Amino acid sequence: MTDEYLLMYSLNLLNLQAIANLSVNANVAKAVAEEGGIEILASLARSMNKLVAEEAAGGLWNLSVGEEHKVRFCI
């Protein structure tokens, strides 16, 4: 792997971790859901990379707590 690839991978993982962690906040969770974040996280949760899948699943878990977002998980 090249250094550039590792840097991009690390940055993407950090971004994913930030979204997962911030989605605990109701206002952030609403924004993430409204901007298509649920679909993106669901896609990333199917990643072959265990770390990516785990972080995405964590973000989905955090988003699932909000009553207003639960209907989006059923679609």
User: Which residue, among 55, 31, 29, has the nearest Cα to 41 in the 3D structure?
Assistant: 55
- Judge whether 28 and 67 are in contact, CB under 8 Å: no
Please give the residue range of the domain that contains residue 32: 3-74
- For range 2-8, the mean pLDDT: 77
Helix axes 37-44, 26-34, angle to 10 degrees: 80
Report the pLDDT averaged over residues 9-34: 79
The pLDDT value recorded for residue 73 is 57
Which residues does 38 contact at the CB level (< 8 Å), separation at least 6? 32, 60, 63, 69, 72, 73
Residue 11 tokens read as: 């940055």
Q: Comparing 11 with 61, which gets the higher pLDDT?
A: 61
Total domain count for the chain? 1
At residue 14, what is the residue type?
L
